[in-house]
Amino acid sequence: MFNRSRRNLACWFTLSMGSILVLFAVTTYYLRAEDKLEATDRLLYRKTRLMAASVEYELSEGKPQVDLERVPVLGSGTLPLGTELAYVRWYSSGAQLKRFFGEPPSQPLEISSGFRTVRSSDRSSEPLSDNTARNNAEKVWLRQLTLPVQEGNELIGYLQVATPLSDIRADLRQFQLALTLTMLVTLVLIGLTGWYLGGVAMQPIKQTYNQLQRFTADASHELRSPLSASLTNAQVALMLAAECPQIQPSLQNIIDSTQSMNVLVNNLLMLARYKGGLTPDLLKPVNLNLLVSESAASYQAQFDAQKIRFIICIPEQSIEVQADSDLLKQAVDNLLSNACKYTEEGETVWLRLGAYANWATVQVVDMGMGISKKDLIHIFDRFYRTDTGRVRGGDGFGLGLSIVEQVVEAHGGRVWATSVEHKGSTFQIELPIRSRLQS
């Protein structure tokens, strides 16, 4: 129980810290990408402005003439800007391509000045200064700037320049890898810290719980003697009161209540004593075939009296487990007792012993009233009783299944239940097999 809570605490801690970490990493990545793009844009803008400044314009014989000869890249064909440019294009003011360097445009110019990130598959869109990269036909991402060029107030054309984003992408990929690795290491550290903190947080709870267990065990133990004294005295008084019928019901009431309290005290003592695993000296080789037959025999009369068909399936092959036979018998008895309580006359109850892989299984199946879905998840809780259970179950305390669960878990096993309301329930105990011998 404590380990489960500790694990849950550690998981929640890791999950919450992990989410914050992921958020932080995504923001950092986003900011870095923004930063890089901004730097690229600044540089691209400066170069485009420089080119635009070299465009010469004059009116010859009343007609506007644009001279691009002195424009870097477009005019001379050299790369005086010393930078990686994918293409440079000059469009007239009517958006017609007049001259270009690098990749020719695949579509007519959309007059949307400003920055855009575009994708290009053409080899010539690779950096002009990087010949090896030109052989790479992969699609590349480009940052493109379209700048309207004006002379005075008159628009004389558009200069479109693009630069590849491969460096930024490579840098971001590396950054992403570094972030992922750092995050993984940090998550492991957070998990370990969560586990440690969970342990520290559990300490006082564990102590309090142990004290409570000890108190319950001591109190139940101390209550047993006065209870049995009361019971004996009440039984003796009932015998002596044979002549006095008026006080007999009162004495019978005392006996019933004392017996019921006795059951409760014994159940509480059991729950308090066998919390956690059993010490190895308590575990002995137990033949489950015998144990299950004994339990079945002790309930046969009760099933017969209630006219319930009781079918027992025990294999010939011996199934042995390491167990405390009294505790284990108590667990099987509790399941059979419930099957008796919650099954109607004329219905059937099966008790089956079996094995699969390294597990022995004891199954109690009934065609009784069944358990609703909302109750099914609680039936192993202490003192939990369903409403119908209260009516049908008589003097039960809602501790029977808690005891089954505790006993089975103390033996390293597990117990589970399935049920369909008004159709019946199946309870299965699974225990690790010690050995399976041929009989």
Residues that bind ligand ADP (CB under 6 A): 334, 338-339, 342, 366, 368-371, 379, 384-386, 389, 393, 396-402, 425
Nearer to ligand ADP among residue 75 and residue 368 (C-beta): 368
What is the nearest approach in angstroms of ligand ADP to the Cβ of residue 29? Answer: 53
Q: What is the separation of C-alpha 389 from the centre of its chain, rounded to a whole number of angstroms?
A: 33
Q: How far apart are CA 275 and CA 331, in angstroms?
A: 14
What is the nearest approach in angstroms of ligand ADP to the Cβ of residue 350? Answer: 12
Encode the chain in three state secondary structure.
Answer: CHHHHHHHHHHHHHHHHHHHHHHHHHHHHHHHHHHHHHHHHHHHHHHHHHHHHHCEEEEECCEEEEECCCCCCCCCCCCCCCCCCCEEEEEECCCCEEEEEECCCCCCCCCCCEEEEEEECCHHHCCCCCHHHHCCCCCEEEEEEEEEEEECCEEEEEEEEEEECHHHHHHHHHHHHHHHHHHHHHHHHHHHHHHHHHHHHHHHHHHHHHHHHHHHHHHHHHHHHHHHHHHHHHHHHHHHHHHCCCCHHHHHHHHHHHHHHHHHHHHHHHHHHCCCCCCHHHCEEEEHHHHHHHHHHHHHHHHHHCCCEEEEECCCCEEEEEECHHHHHHHHHHHHHHHHHCCCCCCEEEEEEEEECCEEEEEEEECCCCCCHHHHCCCCCCCCCCHHHHHHCCCCCCCHHHHHHHHHHHCCCEEEEEEECCCEEEEEEEEEEEEEECC
Nearer to ligand ADP among residue 145 and residue 401 (C-beta): 401
Nearer to ligand ADP among residue 47 and residue 385 (C-beta): 385
Nearer to ligand ADP among residue 198 and residue 396 (C-beta): 396
What is the nearest approach in angstroms of ligand ADP to the Cβ of residue 16? Answer: 36
Nearer to ligand ADP among residue 179 and residue 371 (C-beta): 371
Nearer to ligand ADP among residue 194 and residue 398 (C-beta): 398
What is the nearest approach in angstroms of ligand ADP to the Cβ of residue 17? Answer: 39
Q: Which residues contact 89 (CB under 8 A, 6 or more apart)?
A: 97, 99, 100, 101, 105, 159, 160, 161
One-letter amino acid at 270 equals M
Nearer to ligand ADP among residue 385 and residue 434 (C-beta): 385
What is the nearest approach in angstroms of ligand ADP to the Cβ of residue 226? Answer: 24
Nearer to ligand ADP among residue 142 and residue 269 (C-beta): 269
What is the nearest approach in angstroms of ligand ADP to the Cβ of residue 238? Answer: 26
CA angle 168, 171, 174 (to 5 degrees): 150
What is the nearest approach in angstroms of ligand ADP to the Cβ of residue 232? Answer: 25
What is the nearest approach in angstroms of ligand ADP to the Cβ of residue 399? Answer: 6
Nearer to ligand ADP among residue 115 and residue 384 (C-beta): 384
Q: What is the separation of C-alpha 63 from the centre of its chain, rounded to a whole number of angstroms?
A: 75
Residue closest to 321 by CA, chosen among 365, 289, 279: 289
What is the nearest approach in angstroms of ligand ADP to the Cβ of residue 411? Answer: 18
Nearer to ligand ADP among residue 61 and residue 345 (C-beta): 345
What is the nearest approach in angstroms of ligand ADP to the Cβ of residue 337? Answer: 7
What is the nearest approach in angstroms of ligand ADP to the Cβ of residue 317? Answer: 27
Nearer to ligand ADP among residue 269 and residue 371 (C-beta): 371
